[in-house]
């Protein structure tokens, strides 16, 4: 009879709110290696634009707002490469918003939207 071995996931770090990405990343510390970022296409709830793989140090709210502009975002927080599974360790996915009044959509973001969605 075969038995399954389960990996135990470390507990999630403390956060004052569910979208406090700065707190979440600092809670994971050096275990968080990559943040994969998407931006929701304006007016489309199920269409997301891939923005790239960022270093956690580049993933503070203000830095994301300056680089990509305001809007709704989704970030996957990944850890070290697992050679056995041939993928990065998955920690969690965080959704958050940045006020569009404070940060206009940047040229880089418009270019990515145009390339991925033909808009």
Give 46-105 pLDDT, tens digit per residue: 999 999 999 999 999 999 999 999 999 999 999 999 999 899 999 999 999 999 888 999
- For residue 95, which of 39, 30, 12, 53 has the smallest C-alpha distance? 39
Please give the residue range of the domain that contains residue 37. 21-117
Assigned domain for 30 exists: yes
**Number of domains observed in the structure of the chain:** 1
12: Cβ contacts below 8 Å, ≥ 6 apart: 24, 27, 91, 92
Assigned domain for 3 exists: no
Assigned domain for 57 exists: yes
The pLDDT value recorded for residue 117 is 92
**Residue 12: pLDDT band by 50, 70, 90 thresholds?**
low
Assigned domain for 68 exists: yes
Assigned domain for 7 exists: no
Assigned domain for 1 exists: no
Answer yes or no: are the C-beta atoms of 25 and 77 closer than 8 Å: yes
Assigned domain for 6 exists: no
Assigned domain for 4 exists: no
């Amino acid at each position: 009879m075969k038995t399954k071995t389960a990996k135990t996931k470390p507990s999630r770090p403390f956060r004052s709110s569910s979208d406090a990405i700065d707190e979440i990343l600092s809670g994971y510390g050096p275990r968080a290696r990559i943040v994969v970022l998407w931006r929701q296409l304006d007016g489309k709830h199920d269409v997301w634009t891939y923005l790239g793989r960022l270093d956690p140090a580049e993933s503070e709210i203000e830095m994301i707002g300056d680089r990509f502009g305001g809007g709704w975002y989704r970030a996957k927080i990944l850890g070290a490469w697992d050679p056995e599974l041939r993928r990065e360790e998955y920690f969690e996915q965080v959704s958050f918003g940045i006020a569009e009044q404070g940060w206009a959509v940047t040229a880089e973001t418009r270019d990515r939207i145009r390339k991925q969605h033909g808009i």
